[in-house]
């Protein structure tokens, strides 16, 4: 049951911020034994993502090392929430696309990232039914970005070391200033 009505969503979860070590760990596959945990995790992840606000969120970003992501690339227009369990990219285009990316775990930090322009992702829905989704544009970038989180990869890993270090130093400075308020 995917809901976007703020009244019915659970309380948002805290979002982990870089350099939290959980963000660099590989999430494990969801098994049938995880069904109950996933049933409560997904609505909490949507609540967290919408409140942030963001268009995608991976379970490791809220401290859960399960292979679960949620995406809604149109939250302000007609919401189209998607929950993906055990997602994997099964095909990607040779054509590349560059777009600005940000991340809820790196607040207010943005950079141009180049990725395959189109992807096909195989996943399970909340009921465990196997599905596929194909995306291009923003959806393709979002799917790849969130699946990267499940593998301990951040968008800054696609940047040159100089750009990455500048961005991470700026994040650390911003976080220190926020704590000082």
Does residue 116 belong to any structural domain of this protein?
yes
Using the 8-state DSSP alphabet, how is residue 179 labeled?
Answer: H
Does residue 10 belong to any structural domain of this protein?
no
Which of 168, 139, 181 is closest to 17 using CA atoms?
A: 168
Q: Rounded distance, CA 88 to CA 147, Å?
A: 7
Does residue 9 belong to any structural domain of this protein?
no
Q: What is the structure's pLDDT at 7?
A: 58
Whichever domain contains 125, its CATH number is 3.90.45.10
Q: Rounded distance, CA 44 to CA 13, Å?
A: 7
Q: What is the structure's pLDDT at 3?
A: 47
Residue pair 40/121 in contact (Cβ under 8 Å)? The answer is no
Does residue 15 belong to any structural domain of this protein?
no
Q: What is the structure's pLDDT at 8?
A: 75
Does residue 134 belong to any structural domain of this protein?
yes
Domains contained in the chain, number: 1
Does residue 128 belong to any structural domain of this protein?
yes
Which of 117, 118, 142, 120 is closest to 131 using CA atoms?
A: 120
Give the active site residues.
Answer: 146
Does residue 1 belong to any structural domain of this protein?
no
Is the whole model's pTM more than 0.85, yes or no?
yes
Residue pair 131/125 in contact (Cβ under 8 Å)? The answer is yes
Q: Rounded distance, CA 102 to CA 81, Å?
A: 19
Query: Could you state, in chain order, the average pLDDT of each consecutive group of 10 residues for the chain (181 residues)?
Result: 58 96 98 95 97 97 98 86 98 98 97 98 95 97 98 98 96 89 66
Range of 107's domain? 21-180
Does residue 13 belong to any structural domain of this protein?
no
């Amino acid at each position: 049951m995917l809901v976007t009505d703020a009244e019915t969503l659970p309380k948002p979860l805290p979002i982990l911020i870089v350099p939290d070590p959980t963000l660099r760990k590989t999430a494990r596959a969801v098994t049938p034994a995880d069904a109950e945990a996933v049933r409560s995790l997904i609505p909490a992840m949507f609540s967290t993502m919408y409140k942030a606000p963001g268009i995608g969120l991976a379970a490791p970003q809220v401290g859960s090392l399960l292979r679960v992501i949620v995406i809604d690339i149109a939250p302000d227009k007609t919401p189209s929430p998607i929950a993906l369990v055990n997602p994997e990219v099964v095909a990607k285009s040779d054509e590349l696309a560059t777009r600005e990316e940000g991340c809820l775990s790196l607040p207010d930090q943005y950079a141009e990232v180049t990725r395959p322009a189109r992807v096909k992702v195989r996943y399970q829905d909340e009921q465990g039914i196997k599905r596929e989704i194909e995306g291009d544009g923003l959806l393709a970038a979002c799917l790849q970005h969130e699946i990267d989180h499940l593998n301990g990869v951040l968008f800054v890993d696609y940047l040159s070391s100089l750009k990455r270090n500048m961005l991470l130093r700026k994040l650390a400075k911003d976080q220190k200033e926020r704590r000082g308020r």
